[in-house]
Amino acid sequence: MLRPAARRLGGFAALALAVPCWCADLQVSPILLQFTATDKAQALWLTNTGARPVAAQVRAYAWTQMEDEDHLDPTQALVASPPLVNVAPGQSQLVRIVRRPAPASTREEGFRLIVDELPLADEAPATDAPPATEAGRNGLRLLLRYSIPAFVGSDGGAQRPDAKQVAAAWTPGEHPLLTISNQWTRRLRITTVVHEDAAGRRTVIVPGLLGYVLAGQKRRFALPAAAQDLGPGVIKARLYEALEEFPLATVARGS
């Protein structure tokens, strides 16, 4: 199992070293790919903003979820072409993400594209280990790993989930948990998690992105310290691209 890395995560151990580091030169766009039911390919661009060549590898993984873990498994449903690239300084390289023919699905499928920067002296395929560092004469250069979500979806169905398709449970305690089950046909993108009491007083628990719950799956999220001392009220969040808040779970007593 390969756990998904953050969108720009790499060489974190090297940050503690008291040596100079070159800035990250590899940039990837877009940061999310969406395939419609009829799309055969999407474009992923790798850009080198530095003054020296960059080598990178692109691999696709099927993305599933179980409780509080994301699981990534190698797949041929999406294929990167080419999978290995060399990008000259100041240039961009197109990588086509090709969708292999597959039976139609009534639910959106989730994938992750893992983009690894490779050491210039060794262009062998990267392993599933965290990105490394490349030693240089004057310090260390961070080798990045990007994890890009990609979705192959059904174009049908409602544009927003209803209350019957989203179930959530609140687990209070020293380390409070929010478990969300998604029976909608698309992923839930959960942002701006708040607690609201009967008087309308609001406590922001997560101001930005909490994470995704894929179609037909369940995900458990550990919440930050702001959720430890909540009184009775309702946990709300924004789901998918909707601007309005969705009531998720009831807090019956202090946590």
pTM: 0.78
Closest residue by Cα to residue 252 from 233, 224, 229: 233
Structure tokens at 253: 């007593």
pLDDT of 121 > 80? The answer is no
pLDDT of amino acid 162: 81
Give the β-pairing of 139-142 and 21-22. parallel
Highest-pLDDT range among 34-38, 57-61, 63-67, 194-198: 57-61
Question: Six-digit token pair at 47?
Answer: 């850009």
What's the mean pLDDT in 104-116?
Answer: 91
Taking residues 214-231, report their average pLDDT: 90
CA distance 232 to 243: 24
The pLDDT of residue 218 is above 90: yes
- The domain locations on the chain are 12-152, 163-251
Residue 62 has pLDDT above 90, yes or no: yes
Query: Alpha-carbon distance 19 to 229, whole Å?
Result: 42
Q: Look up residue 83 and give its amino acid.
A: P
In tens, the pLDDT along 41-53 reads: 999 999 999 999 9
* DSSP classification of residue 3: P
Half-sphere exposure (Cβ direction) of 106: Cα atoms closer than 13 Å? 5
Are 74 and 18 in contact by the 8 Å Cβ rule? The answer is no
Greater model confidence, 142 or 170: 170
pLDDT category of residue 213 using cuts at 50, 70 and 90? very high
Average pLDDT along the chain: 82
Task: Say whether 163-251 and 12-152 share the same fold.
Answer: yes
| Percentage of residues of the chain with pLDDT beyond 70 | 78
pLDDT for the residue numbered 104:
75
Among 5-14, 121-130, 203-212, name the one with the lowest average pLDDT: 5-14
Give the pLDDT score at 161. Answer: 82
Query: Residue 175: helix, strand or coil by DSSP?
Result: coil
Provide the token pair at 181: 């089950």
Where is average pLDDT lowest: 22-31, 92-101, 151-160, 202-211? 151-160
The number of helices, as runs of H, and strands, as runs of E, in the chain is 0, 20
CATH pick for 12-152 out of 3.40.720.10, 2.60.40.10, 2.30.290.10, 3.30.530.20? 2.60.40.10
Q: Is the pLDDT of residue 180 over 50?
A: yes
For residue 244, report the phi and psi dihedrals to the nearest 5 degrees: -75, 155
Does domain 163-251 fall under CATH 3.40.50.720? My reply is no
